């Protein structure tokens, strides 16, 4: 009972925070904020599995991958038409002044989501090698890939590997790359909320 109450309080506080952060947003700005919030919730839900803290569930990984695909690529870029910056939007002007870089990250995210859907049956790196998956989380580079810093510098993962090549990786390594891509995009194109 106590655990249920704590979980409900946590959900209520997250929901209140999202509502407050989206205060005043309407139209396409609210639509993109809602999409980003859905992605954030999906990441939080799958993180314990990817860290090996919960039993591995390939179906849950595929569901997460589908959420990534739904909210990335062209589906994401169409939510950022010219002239939709400024309050209450958290999008920096760089979204439009560096459209090619923004679009590349959105497309990378879509490719990574597609690859993760296929890689869901690969399990975690620790399951394959017997190593701790925590040591691979956030290492910056995986299997010849590049770090989030490389993505922030305008280099695109999509040019490095296609979805089929990425799909051979363990699911947690792809999750890390998805997280790095999101982080790179937020660092360069999202204003800090107060």
Q: Taking residues 75-85, what's their average pLDDT?
A: 96
Q: Which of 140, 138, 71 is nearest to 106 (CA)?
A: 71
pTM of the shown model: 0.74
What tens digit of pLDDT does each residue of 43-79 get? 999 999 999 999 999 999 999 999 999 999 999 999 9
How many other CB atoms are found less than 10 A from the CB of residue 19? 10
From the number of C-beta atoms within 10 Å of its C-beta (0-12, 13-18, 19+), residue 70 rates as middle
> What confidence category does residue 194 fall into, taking pLDDT thresholds of 50, 70 and 90?
low
- Greatest CA separation for the chain: 51
> What confidence category does residue 161 fall into, taking pLDDT thresholds of 50, 70 and 90?
confident
Angle between helices 171-189 and 58-70 (to 10 degrees): 30
Does the pLDDT at position 155 exceed 80? no
Lookup result for tokens 């169409």? 78
Does the pLDDT at position 38 exceed 70? yes
Asked if 170 and 115 count as a contact pair (C-beta separation under 8 A), the reply is no
Q: Taking residues 144-160, what's their average pLDDT?
A: 43
What tens digit of pLDDT does each residue of 100-146 get? 999 999 999 999 999 999 999 999 998 766 554 443 333 333 333 33
Helix H or strand E segment including 175: helix 171-189
Number of H helices, E strands in the chain: 10, 0
What tens digit of pLDDT does each residue of 173-190 get? 999 999 999 999 999 999
Alpha carbons 87 and 115: distance in angstroms, whole number: 35
Alpha carbons 53 and 65: distance in angstroms, whole number: 19
């Amino acid at each position: 009972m106590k655990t249920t109450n704590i979980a409900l309080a946590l959900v209520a506080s997250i929901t209140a925070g999202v509502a407050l952060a989206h205060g005043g947003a309407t139209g396409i700005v609210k639509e993109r904020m809602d999409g980003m919030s859905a992605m954030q919730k999906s990441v939080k839900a799958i993180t314990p599995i990817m860290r090996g803290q919960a039993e591995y569930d390939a179906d849950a990984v595929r569901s997460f991958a589908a959420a990534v695909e739904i909210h990335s690529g062209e589906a994401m870029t169409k939510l950022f038409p010219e002239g939709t910056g400024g309050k209450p939007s958290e999008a920096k002007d760089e979204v439009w002044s560096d459209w090619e870089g923004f679009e590349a990250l959105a497309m990378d995210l879509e490719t990574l989501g597609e690859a993760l859907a296929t890689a869901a049956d690969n399990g975690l790196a620790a399951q394959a090698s017997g190593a701790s998956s925590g040591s691979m989380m956030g290492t910056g580079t995986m299997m010849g890939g590049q770090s989030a810093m490389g993505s922030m510098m305008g280099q695109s993962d999509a040019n490095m590997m296609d979805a089929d090549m990425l799909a051979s990786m363990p699911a947690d390594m792809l999750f890390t790359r998805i997280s790095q891509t999101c982080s790179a995009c937020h660092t360069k194109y999202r204003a800090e909320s107060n």
